Structure 1
Amino acid sequence: MAGSAHATLAGLRRERSHRTSGGARRTRCTVALAAVAAAFTLAQLLLVPPGMGLGWDETVYVSQVSAHAPAAFFSAPRARGVSLLVAPVASWSSSTPLLRIYLAVLSGLALFLALRAWRGLFPVRVLALAGALFASLWVTLFYGPQAMPNYWVAVGALAAVACFLHARAGRGRFPYWGLAASAALMAWMRPMDAVWAVLPLLALGLARRHWRPLAVLLAGLTAGAAEWVIEACVSYGGPVRRLADASAIQGGLGAHFAVVDQLRSLGGRTLCRPCTGGLPHPLVTVWWFVLPVLAVLGLTVAVRARRTAATLLPFACAAAAAFPYLFLIDYAAPRFLLPAYALLALPVADALAHLAGAPRRPWRPVPATLVALGLAVHLAVQLAVLTHTVASTTAQHRGWSRTAAALHRLGVRPPCLLTGSEAIPIAFYAGCASAATSGHNANSTENGIAGTARRIPAAVLVPAGSGPPGYARDWAAEPFDGGRLYFTVPESGR
């Protein structure tokens, strides 16, 4: 009896010790990932000034819920996720700095949750390093606080793969809720990007008959894309027609080799269309070539560590997410590949941790030193590109703000109408509606614009070397940044 009691007490002590050590590991993981997310948020606020102003696409998304200006034309490829994301701030405040701070904090929280979903699948040091690698890319820092969808697809994909792995392993109900939420987030932001990103998950679910995770994933995608589908039926002639219109706006999806275009965009070109000119300095692009090599190395490390699925699945999802933007469109933007970068950060971090922590041998400091030096150079390059991109973007946005101020001085004040070159962002800055008679954002006719101009102030922005449309030839003219501004202010609008 005494021996049995002693054994029982010993077992209880071991169980208590195991629970205590497990709790300590979870706490360390949470603290490490929270530190990465907090640093990411702080870096955004310091390096991407909240007062930078809104970009072209941002004005479209924000205008849908803002009282500052009428809603801009919402073209077929867009989804309402970003507009709903910014609504808690943009619906009652026109402050861009406040919106930027809100998005920076929210993006940091989202990164923490996405990384935390991987707890138990990778060591803590790998998860923290993966988060730091992804968060330190100039494109991540630049778009984290912006009202754009790509970052949210990235963190959604990162969380979805982790939750799928946990769910197929039968680790409780929480992974299913996480899988549904992350899939819905992706589809809410960009439905087609969501489908591409989860193709390997769908294939694995079918091949291995993981019916429950598969059903939850499909339910999440359906819930997130429901609004887009309903809007397609109501306003675009149905989902098939909307997809066709979206393809046409993107230049027609087909066989296009956009790899070189993506390389050109790495130097800070936020939209490379048409993508001409030389490549950036090799120091700016070298990380892009090292990335897949390290990811493959990370996969070999994972095979030896017997966590192949946890590395192979994000690798496959990254490839699927990147494929349409590398081989199916004829232009580039660095933000398109954010989901691929987020997913590849895991195997890359695993490879770097393995290189830096090689077994104790006389030459061990060599790879650790090389890894540290490489990361230092990489961070310096990313900071330089970010600084350049922020400066050029801020200058462009200030130009729009100056034009809006000039319109107000000339009497073109809300309610008003703006058309012509860069009318959409400038109209938002001025508080006007925007219109176009041709192109991807066509939503009016010349007769419609002329009729509106007889009731409210209107202006046409004409680039240098071009003339005004027929209805504006008798309007007053003033120079503006890069062209001429033709405007009319009816007596009732004076």
Structure 2
Amino acid sequence: MHVTRVRTTAPEQAVTAPHTRPAGPLPWLTALGLAFLVLQLVVVVPGSGLGWDETVYVSQAGGNAPPAFFSAPRARGISYLVSPVAALTASTAVLRIYLALLSAAALVGALYVWRKVLPTPVLVCAGAFFAGLWPTLFYGSAAMPNPWCALGALAATGWVARPVPDGTGRREAVGAGAAVALVALMRPADGFWLALPLVLAVSVSPGRRRPGVRAALVAGLIAGCAPWTAEAYTRFGGLGARLHRAGEIQGGLGWNMAVDDHLRALAGRTLCRPCDIGWESPGTALWLTLLPLLVIGGVVAARRPGRGTVALLAAGTGLSVALPYLFLVGYAAPRFLLPAYALLSVPLAECLVHLFARASNARRPGGAALLTLVLAAHLTAQLLVVSHVVRVSHATTARFTAIAGALNRSGVRPPCVISGTDAVPIAYYAGCASRQTAGHDASTTPAALRKTALHVPTALLVAPGAAPPPWAGGRRAVLLPPGNSVSAYRGYVVLPAVAADRTDLARRPR
């Protein structure tokens, strides 16, 4: 039997697709960053004003008023960050958009550092969890140091976690050192508690003993703390004196069990000091109560694919940066724990991906869909809280703006000085300098303030129901918004001409 062989021509041959590399995490992380940016621009930025701390930081670089008093605990990192915009415009909207763009880009960059040690699903899940937290959303566009400490901590730990096949790790050393320097520049204490576990990890962990990275971490910490340390000698009488004063302002550093304070603050309190409120909304803290279990589960789950050490490094570093705020500071603010949340999101994501997306091939689409629903529910709950926080922030801004406007109409216009209750933010909105005679921001005396009033318009703000100090007696009182006897501020206004007339009258013989 004769068999005819049919020769296949080239066009009819099966074409084998060339080998293509996986797309990688960058498109997914970029989409996550864009979503984070859009949520900030839609939910948080419109109509927002600067909070108390923000007015202090922004005024150092320009903005709407002379520099406010810079107290001992503060560091100037965030003032450096906002200076390109604050030096050019006093527009809060422009500043917010600038910071929202920067924070979204930094989120993508910090997560991208981890691409060599974490698969894309874990990276995206970790980023979505952290970016979806209401403190992250609210402070992403804020002139506050905490979100930058969080992103710097995430990047620094990612650089340390990366494998270094050739043993040199120059890129990892530079990246880790620069990230620690950023955190220390923003908050020196956060830089210390971040560098500590990372230095230990590269010193004692088998397979991660890298002297170059260790030296870079220490150098980054020293470089980031250098401006704060130098200012300690030029303004506060030395490093020890500044540390002592910073501890006093923070209520004294020592054993303080503040875990329950942080749980209560998650209901939407930007500052809980003293945190003597009840459990207004326990459901908002449910995820935080489950976080330790999910982190432990993530460390265990990551061992099988060989990422247990990475998850343990992220968890240990996250616990280190959380330690002072949970057990050494006697009050709570959700933004304090942002660095911890950023790092703990890595083992948490390992746990969630293991639970929902590591099933058999037949069930994997269903697991991925379930994981998406879990993250969507998390984001929905956080958006409800951040919406409440934004409303409270807008009400506070409106009140400060109204008081500032009333003072301007009463003759207290730049150049001017405001002292008393809430003087720091109100002075910023009025375009005045703020000077306090007592408290954390004490920077003048009653006698010096009276002398100042001879030359520039000066106002003393008195809280509702409080009595003015004796030296304010005889000054012209102005009722300030909201304008009722229960909650109205009183402003004791002294204009230069009036003050001069009274001084002359007092000197005349009777």
Is TM-score (shorter-chain normalized) higher than 0.5? yes
2:118 corresponds, among 115, 122, 125, to: 122
Matched AA of 2:491: L
- Secondary structure class of the residue paired with 2:493: strand
Unaligned 5+ runs, structure 1? 1-15
Please state how far the C-alpha of 1:238 moved relative to its aligned partner: 1.4
Matched AA of 2:64: H
> Bigger CA drift: 224-233 or 57-66?
224-233
Deviations 1:186-213 (A, max 9, x none): 0110011111122211212332442111
Please state how far the C-alpha of 1:368 moved relative to its aligned partner: 6.1
Matches of 2:365 and 2:211, distance apart in 1: 48
**Equivalent residues of 2:128, 2:375 under 8 A apart:** no
**Equivalent residues of 1:52, 1:394 under 8 A apart:** yes
- Secondary structure class of the residue paired with 2:159: helix
1:53 corresponds, among 49, 52, 65, to: 49
Unaligned 5+ runs, structure 2? 1-16, 482-486, 501-510
Please state how far the C-alpha of 1:280 moved relative to its aligned partner: 3.3
Aligned to 1:314: 314
Matches of 1:391 and 1:289, distance apart in 2: 26
Matches of 2:140 and 2:187, distance apart in 1: 16
Please state how far the C-alpha of 1:165 moved relative to its aligned partner: 2.1
CA RMSD, 1 decimal: 2.1
> Bigger CA drift: 152-161 or 348-357?
348-357
> Bigger CA drift: 197-206 or 150-159?
197-206
2:148 corresponds, among 144, 152, 159, to: 152
> Bigger CA drift: 47-56 or 138-147?
47-56
The question of 1:107 aligning with 2:103 is answered yes
Deviations 1:98-154 (A, max 9, x none): 000000000001101100000110001110111111001111000000000000000
The question of 1:194 aligning with 2:191 is answered yes
**Equivalent residues of 1:456, 1:492 under 8 A apart:** no
Matched AA of 2:101: V
1:491 corresponds, among 484, 494, 497, to: 497
Please state how far the C-alpha of 1:285 moved relative to its aligned partner: 1.1
Please state how far the C-alpha of 1:291 moved relative to its aligned partner: 1.5
**Equivalent residues of 2:251, 2:330 under 8 A apart:** yes
**Equivalent residues of 1:266, 1:280 under 8 A apart:** no
Matches of 1:366 and 1:298, distance apart in 2: 20
**Equivalent residues of 1:283, 1:381 under 8 A apart:** no
**Equivalent residues of 2:110, 2:155 under 8 A apart:** yes
Please state how far the C-alpha of 1:471 moved relative to its aligned partner: 2.3
- Percent same amino acid among aligned pairs? 48
Matches of 1:378 and 1:165, distance apart in 2: 28
Matches of 2:168 and 2:222, distance apart in 1: 24
Q: Larger Cα Rg: Structure 1 or Structure 2?
A: 2
Alignment of 1:390-409 (within 5 A): 390-409=390-409
**Equivalent residues of 1:400, 1:426 under 8 A apart:** yes
CA 1:129–1:450: 2 relative to 1, 3 Å: same
CA 1:396–1:67: 2 relative to 1, 3 Å: closer
Aligned to 2:68: 72
CA 1:368–1:30: 2 relative to 1, 3 Å: closer
Aligned to 2:453: 453
> Bigger CA drift: 330-339 or 348-357?
348-357
Alignment of 1:173-184 (within 5 A): 173-184=170-181
Please state how far the C-alpha of 1:174 moved relative to its aligned partner: 2.1
The question of 1:136 aligning with 2:132 is answered yes
CA 1:168–1:328: 2 relative to 1, 3 Å: farther
Deviations 1:405-445 (A, max 9, x none): 00110010011010000000000111111111111111100
- Secondary structure class of the residue paired with 1:117: helix
Structure 1 stretches of 4+ with a deviation exceeding 4 A read 361-373
Matched AA of 1:241: A
Aligned to 1:4: none
- Secondary structure class of the residue paired with 2:252: coil
Deviations 1:61-94 (A, max 9, x none): 0000115211100001100000000000001100
**Equivalent residues of 1:50, 1:98 under 8 A apart:** no
Matches of 1:275 and 1:87, distance apart in 2: 34
**Equivalent residues of 1:168, 1:210 under 8 A apart:** no
**Equivalent residues of 2:190, 2:321 under 8 A apart:** yes
Matches of 1:50 and 1:65, distance apart in 2: 23
- Secondary structure class of the residue paired with 2:466: coil
> TM-score if structure 1 supplies the norm length?
0.92
Matched AA of 1:162: G
**Equivalent residues of 1:50, 1:96 under 8 A apart:** no
Matches of 1:373 and 1:280, distance apart in 2: 26
Matched AA of 2:62: S
Matched AA of 2:54: E
Q: Which structure has the highest helix share of the two? A: 1
Please state how far the C-alpha of 1:376 moved relative to its aligned partner: 3.3
Matched AA of 2:82: V
**Equivalent residues of 1:158, 1:343 under 8 A apart:** yes
CA 1:367–1:67: 2 relative to 1, 3 Å: closer
> Bigger CA drift: 474-483 or 455-464?
474-483
Matches of 2:63 and 2:330, distance apart in 1: 36
**Equivalent residues of 2:299, 2:347 under 8 A apart:** yes
Matched AA of 2:494: T
Aligned to 1:224: 224
> Bigger CA drift: 302-311 or 389-398?
302-311
- Secondary structure class of the residue paired with 1:231: helix
Matches of 2:118 and 2:372, distance apart in 1: 21
CA 1:17–1:242: 2 relative to 1, 3 Å: farther
Matches of 1:448 and 1:477, distance apart in 2: 20
Matches of 1:248 and 1:73, distance apart in 2: 16
Matches of 1:40 and 1:397, distance apart in 2: 24
**Equivalent residues of 2:453, 2:499 under 8 A apart:** no
Alignment of 1:375-394 (within 5 A): 375-394=375-394
Aligned to 1:3: none
Aligned to 1:261: 261
Aligned to 2:417: 417
Aligned to 1:9: none
